[in-house]
Structure 1
Amino acid sequence: MKVAVSVREGAISSTLLLRRLRAGSNKNATYTAFREVGRVIRTIQLLRYLTDAPLRRRVTAATNKVESFNRFSAWVGFGNGGVIADNDPVEQEKTAKFNALLSNAVIFHNALDIAEIVRQLQAEGMEIDPEDLAQVSPYLTEHIRRFGEYSTHELAVTAAGAAALRGHDAPDTG
């Protein structure tokens, strides 16, 4: 308790405390006390998890969602068998972020497609239950061609069009 108050009052910085705990041995009294408090908290959480069926269902549902995203992201980032071949941490982080960006772009596209289909069904008079819709996953892959040739010429934006989007005058190209 004294340590927590000291950190809160600014008598010791949390960075310094962590540095001392990390450098200290297992015989350090503060380290031992924090370790035991952590074990008590972990035991309480495990007992709550074991005795609370709704909590277990929520944890399982959240875990399943995360695992679904991880499988989807691995499917999207299929290159090199999912192995990041570079040992440079900066390059590894770039690869992971690019994969996350691409995964999120596909998820966004899927969500737009799902929303459009729902609008069409509702326009045709079909009633869509929000609980049913909550079960629809945006991690759809059947419609995606990962391999092959892609035409992007229809996506070309002229200088005038790009300037208009930014609210600037088009550059003089002549």
Structure 2
Amino acid sequence: MRLAYSIKEGKVSGSLIMGKIGSYARQNSLAKALSELGKIKKTIFILDYLSDEDFRRKIQIGLNKGEAMSALARAIFFGKYGMLHEKDIQGQLQRATALSIIINAITLWNTIYLPKIVEKLKEKEDVNEDFLKHVSPLGWEHINFIGQYNFDDNSDYDLVDNMRPLKVI
């Protein structure tokens, strides 16, 4: 009860609680009670998952988004097989941050260009609107990862009005 009250009042952090419980003996009654509570929550989750098709679908959608993001990260970070070889934490953080920035840039680029591509496709053929909700901005097949890149800080490039022409095949 004291633990529940402390959590509810925000008097203690989750990491502190886990550290304290981890330092107790295995036969601790609080640790046993929390373990049993966790088993109950897990059982309820599994029963909900098995009985509710919409719940399963939502979970699958979330998993697919996570997998798409991971696949894009692997495609970008192919040089060292997705492994950080820097010995210091600062170097690892810089590499991870750079990867995150590149993923965000690709996602932004695709998000800006996807409506334009749909417009172009609608000019040529019928587009089923129901399929559009399944299109993700995490695709990268159109991106050259091993090319030469030029970043011009002096350019006054407006992404909305000054977009590159589309290459619709």
TM-score normalised by length of structure 2 = 0.76
Structure with larger RCO (C-alpha < 8 A, sep 6+):
2
Whole-angstrom distance in 1 between the partners of 2:16 and 2:131: 51
Deviations 1:8-36 (A, max 9, x none): 457x6346544321211211111111111
Matching residue of 1:55: 55
Matching residue of 2:114: 114
C-alpha displacement at 1:118, in angstroms? Answer: 2.7
Task: Give the alignment's Cα RMSD to 1 decimal.
Answer: 2.6
Whole-angstrom distance in 2 between the partners of 1:82 and 1:125: 40
Instruction: Tell me which protein shows more helix as a share of its residues.
Output: 1
SS of 1:79's partner is coil
Matches within 5 A, 1:46-125: 46-121=46-121, 124=123
Unmatched 5+ stretches in structure 1: 162-174
* 2:154 counterpart (145, 149, 157): 157
Unmatched 5+ stretches in structure 2: 157-169
Matching residue of 2:3: 3
Tell me the amino acid that sits aligned with residue 149 of structure 1: Q
TM-score normalised by length of structure 1 = 0.74
Of residues 131-140 and 63-72 in structure 1, the stretch that sits farther from structure 2 once superposed is 131-140
Deviations 1:88-118 (A, max 9, x none): 2332222122111101101111121212223
Aligned residues: 155
Whole-angstrom distance in 2 between the partners of 1:133 and 1:62: 17
Larger Rg: 1
SS of 1:4's partner is helix
Percent of aligned pairs with the same residue? 28
Matching residue of 1:29: 29
Whole-angstrom distance in 1 between the partners of 2:144 and 2:102: 14
Whole-angstrom distance in 1 between the partners of 2:118 and 2:148: 31
Deviations 1:28-48 (A, max 9, x none): 111111111111111111111
C-alpha displacement at 1:119, in angstroms? Answer: 3.8
Whole-angstrom distance in 1 between the partners of 2:75 and 2:114: 20
Deviations 1:115-157 (A, max 9, x none): 22234456x49775543221222222222122233344xx341
Whole-angstrom distance in 1 between the partners of 2:12 and 2:65: 38
SS of 2:96's partner is helix
Tell me the amino acid that sits aligned with residue 41 of structure 2: I
